[in-house]
Amino acid sequence: MKDTYESPLASRYASREMLYIFSPDKKFTTWRRLWIALARAEKELGLPITQGQIDELEREKDHINYDLAQEKERELRHDVMAHIHAYGAQCPSAMPILHLGATSCYVGDNTDIILMKEGLTLLRDKLVRVLAALGRFARQYKAMPTLGYTHYQAAQLVTVGKRATLWMYELLQDLEELEYRLSHLRLLGCKGTTGTQASFLELFEGDQEKVWQLDRRIAREMGFAPDQVQPVSGQTYTRKVDAAVLSTLAGIAQSAHKFATDLRLLCHMKEVEEPFEAHQVGSSAMPYKRNPMRSERICALARYVIADGLNPAMTACLQWFERTLDDSANKRIAVSEAFLATDAILNLYENVAANLVVHPKVIEKHVLEELPFMATENILMDAVKRGGDRQALHERIRTHALAAGQRVKGEGKDNDLLERIAADPAFGLSRQEVFRHLDPAAYIGCCPQQVERFLDQQVRPVLDRYPDALQGTGAEITV
């Protein structure tokens, strides 16, 4: 249908895997798995539920009868009750025990936690692949000198590979945060309408141990450790969970935005570029252009995720007592779309990082334009060793540097600072002695060693921890 709005996150940006995680099929089959887990645990704990009823529920769990569910929702104005009736119509013998003792949040909230867990796992693997791609790039260019910038003004030299480790270190922090969120996600469990578990205590005739066991058994069946259930709650899990998860996603977006912004600046300088395909069009008006559209899209989506991170924070602080319903409509948009957008960001990030194009000659040209200024400190030391006056020579260098800078910026000519110094008898240095300080490799400090140590000690353990994440064929982007 082309006459109805559709989210660009679904039609243009997010991966098929992430779209499935937040799809109706995934949501409602998870509801059904939770109903089965509830019935199975209640049966095991002594309630009069038969294996035949559970088998019937199992048989129909993947066959969502959407038409009937939609009809029932129009009638009842309640999505969970609509799906209970739809499922019950397929499983008539199990209908009497379906959703026994539960409230809507049993399926809704537990499903939300499960989907966020799967979404975080998918994003974790993509983060690992981005780290692997940047790691290859960093190692390859660990010793290539390039201008470092502070305040976007030329500073001391760094290397192309060392700069990549700065991007990677932020991603490692994001990965650590993501791993923490994954390990601390807890199901809501079976808490009832106000979190007291009163309905289950009634079902089990006052046996509190069976009430505790119910939570633990359901957690185990849904892929969580028995103790990964919220110890106390109202009707819902605390919405601070959503706020914490989206804060993690916003952190990934911040790091990606930094990378993409740096790359856009490098593209402008023609030093490093994102991939540009053979038939790609950079501009409808200017055929020669190679716009960094992937990096720009990373920035655009990243700003969306960062802003969206405020949504669950505001929702969390506005919950009343044991629950209110002003969270529902907001969180079903804010949470899912934050995951879709972060997924799209990492797809782009991996695609760009794995195919970066470096232009060594341009980088060298820019280095040599600024290197004479950077070489002056070493030249000053040489001249002082030969008996020169440090303060007097410092002033002469300052005077020559200002003149050379005016020549470059005012007249558009080459930097002739070293020629001026070589011609100045106050330094007592030959032209050869002055110009031997123009080796860029002498100004990159420990960059190559820092890169190797960082990759071996910080990145390699992560890649080794997630070998399956590295088996993919690479990120695909649709437009």
Q: Which residues are catalytic?
A: 151, 283
Is residue 345 within 8 Å of residue 360, measured between CB atoms? no
Beta-strand relationship, 357-358 and 153-159: unpaired
Coil, strand or helix at 229: strand
β-partners of residue 154 are 149
Which of the 8 DSSP states describes residue 147?
Answer: E
Residue type, 377: E
Tell me the C-alpha distance between 200 and 214, whole Å. 9
CB under 8 Å to 261, separation ≥6 — which residues?
295, 299
Write b or e for each residue in 437-472: b if 16 or more Cβ atoms lie within 10 A of its Cβ, otherwise e: beebeebbeebbebbbebbeeebeebbeebeebeee
Tell me the C-alpha distance between 3 and 334, whole Å. 24
Q: How many CB atoms lie within 10 A of CB 43?
A: 16
Tell me the C-alpha distance between 24 and 330, whole Å. 17
